[in-house]
Amino acid sequence: MATETSVNYDRTKELKQFDDTKTGVKGLVDSGILNVPKIFVRPAEDLAADELNSSQKTIEVPVIDLSNIGDSIRRKEIVNEVKIASGEWGFFQVINHGIPLSVLDEMIEGIRLFNEQDLELKKEMYSRDSAKKVRFHSNFDLYTSKTADWRDTLQLTFLDSDPDPSQMPPVCR
């Protein structure tokens, strides 16, 4: 792909072309691209600002310990920790959750298998429809963020009901 100047660069068009492939970031890599598309490149001024700010902060991912969650006082503390970590960071690490390591390993293997499966199977699940309980997509905020993130997501949402295994990709069941 020829390098485009900012004068004739159409970000919306490039975003749509990427999204329409329904292959995500891994699809780009598998296609043999030689250059990272401009939609994924952060402007130099953003990087410089991050560099200035990073020297002033110690970055530590919040860790939430679920020990003694049955105790009502500790439960309130945990809920508050989740609220703070979610609001300030958007994510956190959970420890002492009681999920066996074998289950976590199987989950990671399922995701690896999903990402390595035939592209046509993944395309069937690609969607921006947030009402779908199971969907594959790249960048939930693709059209609104300043720079797209180099990531793909398999999203499973079962807040209102138990998961229906038939909705999940077979490699993830």
Q: What are the sequence ranges of the domains in the chain? A: 11-59+99-172
Residues of the chain with pLDDT under 50: 1-4
pLDDT at residue 55, rounded to an integer: 58
pLDDT at residue 42, rounded to an integer: 86
Q: Which amino acid is at 147?
A: T
Q: For residue 139, how many other CB atoms are within 10 A of its CB? A: 23
| pTM recorded for the entire structure | 0.73
pLDDT at residue 6, rounded to an integer: 61
pLDDT at residue 50, rounded to an integer: 65
pLDDT at residue 2, rounded to an integer: 47
Residue 94 main-chain phi, psi, to 5 deg: -110, 130
- Contacts for 19 with CB less than 8 Å, ≥ 6 apart: 128, 138, 142, 143
Instruction: Please tell me whether residue 93 adopts helix, strand or coil conformation.
Output: strand
Residue 64 main-chain phi, psi, to 5 deg: -115, 120
Q: Which amino acid is at 153?
A: T
